[in-house]
């Protein structure tokens, strides 16, 4: 070893092959992997060595995508930099320039924007219709349609998609199906088992679960995941090893969290339905045997002053996200659906009184009393 400082400071002592038997997978915070000679390098291209360059593949992102594919009972998966990039990768794996997509008109605001403001630059045409009526979806299918896109539980009104009806319609027309399963999570629903081709997650939400990481996962049929992975690699939409590690660590408590959060949400939905200052409570009647999810959307009655409701929430914070362990509230008009025109919002029923509640793991009775207190304090 050369004795000059400049060389020693770079080549610090490190035995890459030493096996530590660590209980958790270490973070492979490395942009690339090294090779002892040219034969070893060649073995990567022959498929005998898995890793070369982290944008293409990394043990931490592999571990995350494998874990979610297993939970979803899907053939394969790919981890991405965000839910949005997972959605884009899935779309680009199923539609090419000149193709057409039929998508649900009540998808997450960011997805709405991607479909309407960006996909035309890829030469992909989009028609948005209500998926509550599959006849409307059928009418929207054209010669060049390749994909039907929707969410298993919609945002913010929590409409539960008829997945088997969708699969049947798609197979009649030889189309791919892709479902955003962010709100339901594989704890409640496993759309791939119903025959859905691609399932996407904003892992930023329940899979990560702690509001400390932005990430996405796309799982589904091997052939489509191979294509989507190619898009992720080329577009540089890969997830960093640290963020993959954080997401996977969070995912280990998904079962416990969803169980508690779904229970709390049900208790709150029942309490708010009995409150005369709440015009409407949106909470699904049946998502799965395990529960109905942890989001409750309410429309306050006009007897409530909305600004003052937000000011009276005490320990419940206003946050433009969902799915953390803490109960939070968001205001679709100002956040998730801000990019939509008034007309588009009106069409899907979002008005100034609609508020989305993301229920956490706290004690249910504390959550109920905090919301009741906020409503009481803001009556006009």
Ligand X SMILES: Cc1ncc(COP(=O)(O)O)c(C=O)c1O
**Residues engaged in binding ligand X (CB under 6 A):** 82-84, 108, 110-111, 151, 155, 180, 182-183, 202, 204, 214, 216
Give me the least distance between CB of 323 and ligand X, in Å please: 8
Give me the least distance between CB of 79 and ligand X, in Å please: 12
Distance of alpha carbon 362 from alpha carbon 326, whole angstroms: 7
Give me the least distance between CB of 202 and ligand X, in Å please: 3
Give me the least distance between CB of 115 and ligand X, in Å please: 12
**Contact indicator for 13, 21 with CB cutoff of 8 Å:** no
Residue 84 or 367: the one with the smaller Cβ distance to ligand X is 84
User: Quick check: helix, strand or coil at residue 294?
Assistant: coil
Counting beta carbons within 10 angstroms of the beta carbon of residue 339, is it exposed (0 to 12), middle (13 to 18) or buried (19 or more)? middle
**Contact indicator for 184, 293 with CB cutoff of 8 Å:** yes
Peptide bond into 156 cis (omega under 30): yes
Residue 89 or 224: the one with the smaller Cβ distance to ligand X is 89
Give me the least distance between CB of 7 and ligand X, in Å please: 43
Q: Which of 213, 376, 356 is nearest to 309 (CA)?
A: 376
For ligand X, the nearest residue by Cβ is 83
Residue 145 or 204: the one with the smaller Cβ distance to ligand X is 204
From residue 351, give the alpha-carbon distance in Å to each of 186, 207, 358. 31, 29, 18
Q: Can you read off the two tokens belonging to residue 220?
A: 């589904």
Residue 109 or 241: the one with the smaller Cβ distance to ligand X is 109
Residue 266 or 356: the one with the smaller Cβ distance to ligand X is 356
Give me the least distance between CB of 262 and ligand X, in Å please: 17
DSSP string, 117-135: IIGGGGT-EEEEE-TTSHH
Residue 204 or 240: the one with the smaller Cβ distance to ligand X is 204
Residue 124 or 178: the one with the smaller Cβ distance to ligand X is 178
Helix/strand/coil percentages in the chain, nearest 5: 40, 20, 45
Q: Please provide the size of the chain in residues.
A: 380
DSSP string, 196-215: -SEEEEETTTTTT-SS----
Give me the least distance between CB of 259 and ligand X, in Å please: 21
Q: Which ranges of 236-279 would DSSP assign to H, the alpha helix?
A: 241-251, 254-273
């Amino acid at each position: 070893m050369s004795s000059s400082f400049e060389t020693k400071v770079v080549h610090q002592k490190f035995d890459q092959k030493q096996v530590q038997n660590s209980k958790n997978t270490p973070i492979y915070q490395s942009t690339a992997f090294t090779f002892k000679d040219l034969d070893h390098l060649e073995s990567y291209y022959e498929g005998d060595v898995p890793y070369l360059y982290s944008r293409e593949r990394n043990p931490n992102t592999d571990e995350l995508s494998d874990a979610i594919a297993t939970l979803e009972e899907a053939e394969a998966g790919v981890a991405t930099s965000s839910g949005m990039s997972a959605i884009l990768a899935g779309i680009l794996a199923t539609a090419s320039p000149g193709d057409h997509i039929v998508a649900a008109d009540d998808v997450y605001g960011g997805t709405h924007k991607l479909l309407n403001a960006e996909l035309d630059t890829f030469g992909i045409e989009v028609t948005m219709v209500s998926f509550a009526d599959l006849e409307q979806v059928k009418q929207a299918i054209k010669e060049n349609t390749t994909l039907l896109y929707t969410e298993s539980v919609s945002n913010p009104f929590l409409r539960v998609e008829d997945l088997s009806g969708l699969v049947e319609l798609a197979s009649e027309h030889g189309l791919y199906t892709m479902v955003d399963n962010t709100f339901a999570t594989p704890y409640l629903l496993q759309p791939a088992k119903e025959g859905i081709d691609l399932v996407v997650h904003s892992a930023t939400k329940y899979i990560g679960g702690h509001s400390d990481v932005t990430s996405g996962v796309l799982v589904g049929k091997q052939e489509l995941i191979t294509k989507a992975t190619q898009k992720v690699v080329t577009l540089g939409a890969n997830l960093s090893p640290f963020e993959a590690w954080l997401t996977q660590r969070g995912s280990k408590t998904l079962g416990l969290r969803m169980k508690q959060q779904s229970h709390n949400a049900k208790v709150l939905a029942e309490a708010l339905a009995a409150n005369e200052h709440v015009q409407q409570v949106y909470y699904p009647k049946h998502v799965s045997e395990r529960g109905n999810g942890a989001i409750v959307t309410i429309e306050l009655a006009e007897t409530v002053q909305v600004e003052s409701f937000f000011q009276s929430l005490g320990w419940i914070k206003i946050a433009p996200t969902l799915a953390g362990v803490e109960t939070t509230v968001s205001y679709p008009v100002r956040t998730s659906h801000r990019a939509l025109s008034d007309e588009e919002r009106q069409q899907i029923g979002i008005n100034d009184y609609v508020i989305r509640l993301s229920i956490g793991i706290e004690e249910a009775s504390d959550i109920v009393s905090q919301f009741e207190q906020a409503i009481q304090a803001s009556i006009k």
